[in-house]
Amino acid sequence: MPKYILRYFDLKAYAEPSRLLFTLAGQEYEDIRYTREEWVTEKPKTPLGKIPVLEIDGKPFGQSNAIHRYLAKTFGFYGNGDLEALEIDQVLGVVYDAYEAYLLYAVEKDEAVKAELMKGVKEVKVPLYFGMLEKLLKKSGSTGFFIGKKITLADVSVFDLADKMESVVKLEDYPLVKKCSDNVLANPRIKAYVDKRLVTEM
């Protein structure tokens, strides 16, 4: 197998789906986490001036979405065939939109603006995007998986989203999304990883 190195901050944010995929696959990798000070020095060395970066046998690649998809394909979590991949990509589009909306709130420093953004996230964004995920899960057969009865990148991404947004979403209001999240957490490798991972701000 190739030697994998994942480089990011000591945050979940854009790198966590990759960490979860490595965990799910039982694949060893080096998880390098930069401080903000270290990043100043490391930034010029990256392919695109951004992280996360995945190194495969010493060759670096950027863009988190590309990295997640590559790992899912490599480890067998991207469905069987183009149609299942399309279904997964559809879910990923919803997840990315939801997370971007949440991030605007999460990184805001002005407390008055933050309160207003939280209101919009809770009252508009959560019902919109989690409602979409609920609908897609129902369409898939209400199994708690987006594709059949097996974990794919779609399920991992929704689990990660629900975890990051736990302060603003009540999963009980979206029972199929909760079931999906619970299914991922029920995986022994994922459970062991989550139980011991560092608690970070995002």
Q: How confident is the model at residue 1 (pLDDT cuts 50, 70, 90)?
A: confident
> Going from the N-terminus, what domains does the chain have, and what CATH number goes with each?
4-76 (3.40.30.10), 82-186 (1.20.1050.10)
DSSP reduced 3-state for 102: helix
pLDDT at 191: 98
Residues with Cβ within 8 Å of 88's Cβ and at least 6 positions away in sequence, in order, are 72, 78, 79, 146, 147, 152, 153, 154
Q: How far is the C-alpha of 158 from the C-alpha of 179, rounded, in Å?
A: 11
pLDDT digit string (tens) for 123-144? 999 999 999 999 999 999 999 9
pLDDT digit string (tens) for 11-32? 999 999 999 999 999 999 999 9
pLDDT at 202: 82
Does residue 198 or residue 102 have the better pLDDT?
A: 102
Q: How confident is the model at residue 78 (pLDDT cuts 50, 70, 90)?
A: very high
Q: Is the pLDDT of residue 201 over 80?
A: no
